[in-house]
């Protein structure tokens, strides 16, 4: 046993140990009866930095970088060193031709023809048809009427023809009305409202000028139609005479050739007045030559575009004429081909459409009594090829 002095030394030693090192964990745990808290794992922290440390010095874990893409494989075939890679674009044109087949006697459309019944020639060379279809669709047409202070008989015929055309229109047709004398005037733009068409025609009461600038008016109409997509028609009601145009006939014909997808149907006016004046001896000489030239101009405009020209003498002919125009416009054969001449040189290519039988001979038609029927194949006579810069 320790003496009093030894026990004092032992007590002092314990007090110094507690003051310097704190209480012993084992002894404290033994005294309170609870296990010591587990220390966090510092080996593999998830967020980087010390485990459980949310302080400002904690660094985020770096994301894995994706693997770089593989190097491109060199082509098996290489160009020569002096020749770089280039692309080649070939523009192969497609020519669309609307063809009408009309009987000469009854002026009726001939249905039920097949693709093998058509032969297309371009500059005399046969072409391979790539698309064939019979179409019957709404029309987009411009009614271009001569309204000049020349003769009341011409104005009377023009109004009757215009009204006869308006009566043939259908609800889904688009029609614009234009008139001309010295100037061209748009009475109504393209519309499906037939009331606007009637109002435009009713406004034609008193003409202003005596001049008939047919070439200028037709040129301006074609220029406007080039901005409209699809097939368009011009119903030209005119005497065919031109008195004061700035443009010449040659420039007008060139414009017709350069304007695609436009068909002109011409109706001559003043036929009865001309017959009466000739019977009385007032229509001979240079005046009659002027009218013959005017008729030839209207026929040329129509023929070049695949249309028709009519020269009625009596008012009762108007309904039948516009019924024929309406039937020809709405019932056609749409033919497409890729020309064998692929040069883009801006030249004019002549088109000829023929009807043939299974053996390649000209097609013959017969009526119910086995009598031969004559027919007309109506199509535009050509087109102008594109230029390289177009």
- pLDDT > 70: what percent of the chain? 75
Given a cut of 60, is residue 49 above it in pLDDT?
no
**CA distances (Å), origin 178, targets 92, 111, 143:** 37, 33, 6
**CA distances (Å), origin 251, targets 216, 217, 223, 319:** 10, 13, 13, 33
Q: Map residue 326 onto helix, strand or coil.
A: helix
Structure tokens at 138: 């709404």
**CA distances (Å), origin 153, targets 143, 157, 159, 288, 314:** 19, 6, 10, 16, 11
Q: Express each pLDDT in 125-159 by its tens digit.
A: 999 999 999 988 789 999 999 999 888 889 999 99
For the chain, which domains are there? 91-136+333-390 (no CATH), 137-330 (3.40.50.410)
Q: Express each pLDDT in 88-131 by its tens digit.
A: 455 668 999 989 898 888 778 898 999 999 999 999 999 999 99
Q: Express each pLDDT in 229-240 by its tens digit.
A: 888 999 999 999
- Burial of 127: CB neighbours in 10 Å, binned 0-12, 13-18, 19+: buried
């Amino acid at each position: 046993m320790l003496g009093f002095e030894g026990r004092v030394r032992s007590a002092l030693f314990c007090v110094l140990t507690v003051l310097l090192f704190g209480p012993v964990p084992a002894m404290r745990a033994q005294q309170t009866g609870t296990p010591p808290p587990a220390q966090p794992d510092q080996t593999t922290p998830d967020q980087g930095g010390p485990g459980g440390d949310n302080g400002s010095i904690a660094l985020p874990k770096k994301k894995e970088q994706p693997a770089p893409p593989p190097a491109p494989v060199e082509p098996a075939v290489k160009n020569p060193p002096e020749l770089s890679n280039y692309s080649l674009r070939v523009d192969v044109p497609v020519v669309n031709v609307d063809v009408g087949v009309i009987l000469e006697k009854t002026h009726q459309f001939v249905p039920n023809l097949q693709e093998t019944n058509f032969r297309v020639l371009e500059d005399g060379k046969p072409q391979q048809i790539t698309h064939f279809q019979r179409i019957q669709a709404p029309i987009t047409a411009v009614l271009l009427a001569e309204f000049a202070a020349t003769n009341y008989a011409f104005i009377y015929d023009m109004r009757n023809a215009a009204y006869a055309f308006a009566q043939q229109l259908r609800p889904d047709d688009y029609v614009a009305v234009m008139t001309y004398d010295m100037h061209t005037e748009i009475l109504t733009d393209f519309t499906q409202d037939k009331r606007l068409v009637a109002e435009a025609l009713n406004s034609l009461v008193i003409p202003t000028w005596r001049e008939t600038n047919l070439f200028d008016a037709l040129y301006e109409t074609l220029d406007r139609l080039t901005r409209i997509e699809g097939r368009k028609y011009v119903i030209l009601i005119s005497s065919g005479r031109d008195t004061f145009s700035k443009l010449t006939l040659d420039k007008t014909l060139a414009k017709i050739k350069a304007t695609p997808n436009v068909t002109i149907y011409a109706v001559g006016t003043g036929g009865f007045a001309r017959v009466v004046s000739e019977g009385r001896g007032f229509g001979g000489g240079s005046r009659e030559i002027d009218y013959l030239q005017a008729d030839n101009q209207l026929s040329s405009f129509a023929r070049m575009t695949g249309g028709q020209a009519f020269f009625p003498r009596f008012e009762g002919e108007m309904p039948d004429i516009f019924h024929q125009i309406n039937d020809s416009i709405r019932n056609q054969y749409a033919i497409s081909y890729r020309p064998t001449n692929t040069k883009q040189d801006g030249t004019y290519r002549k088109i000829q459409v023929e009807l043939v039988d299974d053996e390649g001979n000209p097609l013959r038609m017969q009526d119910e009594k086995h009598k031969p029927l004559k027919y007309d194949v109506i199509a535009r006579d050509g087109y102008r090829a594109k230029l390289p810069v177009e």
